[in-house]
């Protein structure tokens, strides 16, 4: 009797094992179809998301031939940063034939013009010459005449004007501006050093009459970006001395101190030109003084007269500064210009327009 029961249990166990194996086989056999079904259930949502994304084949295409100084930036910010829509920026040269405009940075092309002359240009494609250096720091190249359709630079008479910085209305958040705490009177951060520069000669005379805290490669005190933005606000005055003196040429040496709450002492173009860009009482111009010694005396006077010093910040109640995104802003505004101006023109006098 026990033998029959044992045999019965063995038979039942064998049947259960067989059923489990069959279920496993069926699961394995049909698993791909189940997975496919699951993916198909998700597919409608994926298609919906794709439809909500902008079509990369639409809009005005701007090819950035090479990012200026290799500072590559995300090329999808025109609408967010500048409220410029309908633009697609790319640095993929395989899209050259489809590009509506091509932006060339002068520093990257001036010594390789032959290559550009050999390139086949699609009909009506706009070539844009872009440069943010002054004529004194830009090698002249007459062969560029007649090659481009537009210009983009710091100069206001460019087709696409992009200054190093702008004065903009202050936001509600920034209306509570406070002058940072100061523990230095005059500061200067400089890397490019040349005794022929007017700013170097002026500095040598100025430091005879007032102490200047100096930093940068020229003084073997290079700063990290973090150190730079820590030191700059701690100075009452900053020597915003440009290395080249040209109309409209005002660089980050001017706008960065203004942004962080330091009074710029400027050496560059004339006061009238500066006042076309920034408030008249937001800076001190070296031309307003007969000598570096007289300027030094004025700085020391302001150091001892807080009320007079604070007058240089009254403009911050209503305005602040906004820096340009080098290369990216140019490309976005070039796109906007092409969208607004459908005509075709050629810049035949680039070498005389910019260098004379």
Count Cβ atoms within 10 A of the Cβ of residue 110 and give its class: 0-12 exposed, 13-18 middle, 19 or more buried: middle
DSSP single-letter state for residue 69: G
Question: Shortest CA distance to 230 belongs to which of 284, 182, 174, 299?
Answer: 182
DSSP single-letter state for residue 285: E
Characterise 216 by phi-psi region: left (phi > 0), alpha (psi -120 to 50), beta (else). Answer: left
Which residues are designated catalytic? 133
DSSP single-letter state for residue 207: T
Count Cβ atoms within 10 A of the Cβ of residue 87 and give its class: 0-12 exposed, 13-18 middle, 19 or more buried: buried
CB-based contacts of 191, cutoff 8 Å, min separation 6: 216, 217, 218, 222
Residue 62: how many CB atoms within 10 A of its CB? 27
How far apart are alpha carbons 110 and 108 in whole angstroms? Answer: 6
Q: Is residue 116 a contact partner of residue 123, using CB atoms and an 8 Å limit?
A: no
Residue showing tokens 């998700």: 42
């Amino acid at each position: 009797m026990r033998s029959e029961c044992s045999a019965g249990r063995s038979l039942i166990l064998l049947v259960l094992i067989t059923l489990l194996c069959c279920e496993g086989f069926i699961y394995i056999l049909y698993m791909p179809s189940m997975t496919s079904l699951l993916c198909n259930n998700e597919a409608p949502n994926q298609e919906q998301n794709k439809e909500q994304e902008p079509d990369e084949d639409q809009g005005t295409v701007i090819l950035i031939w090479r990012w200026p100084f290799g500072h590559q930036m995300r090329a999808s910010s025109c609408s967010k940063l500048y409220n410029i829509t309908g633009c697609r920026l790319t640095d993929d040269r395989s899209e050259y034939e489809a590009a509506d405009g091509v932006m060339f940075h002068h520093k990257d092309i001036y010594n390789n013009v032959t290559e550009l002359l050999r390139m086949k240009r699609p009909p009506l494609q706009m070539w844009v010459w872009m440069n943010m250096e002054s004529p004194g720091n830009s090698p002249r190249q007459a062969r560029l005449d007649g090659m481009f359709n537009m210009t983009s630079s710091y100069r206001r008479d460019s087709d696409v004007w992009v200054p190093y910085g702008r004065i903009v209305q202050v936001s509600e958040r920034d209306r509570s501006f406070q002058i940072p705490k100061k523990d230095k009177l005059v500061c200067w951060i400089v890397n490019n050093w040349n005794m022929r520069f007017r700013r170097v000669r002026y500095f040598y005379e100025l430091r005879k009459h007032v102490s200047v805290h100096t930093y940068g490669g020229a003084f073997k005190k290079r700063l990290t970006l973090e150190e730079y933005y820590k030191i700059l606000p701690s100075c009452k005055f900053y020597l915003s001395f440009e290395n080249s003196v040209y109309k409209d040429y005002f660089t980050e040496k001017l706008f960065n101190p203004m942004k962080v709450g330091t009074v710029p002492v400027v050496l560059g173009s004339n006061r009238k030109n500066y006042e076309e860009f920034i408030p008249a009482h937001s800076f001190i111009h070296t031309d307003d003084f007969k000598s570096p010694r007289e300027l030094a005396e004025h700085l020391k006077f302001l150091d001892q007269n807080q009320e007079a010093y604070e007058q240089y910040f009254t403009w911050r109640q209503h305005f602040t500064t906004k820096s340009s995104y080098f290369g990216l802003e140019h490309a976005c505004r070039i796109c906007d210009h092409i969208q607004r101006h459908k005509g075709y023109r050629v810049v035949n006098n680039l070498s005389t327009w910019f260098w004379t």
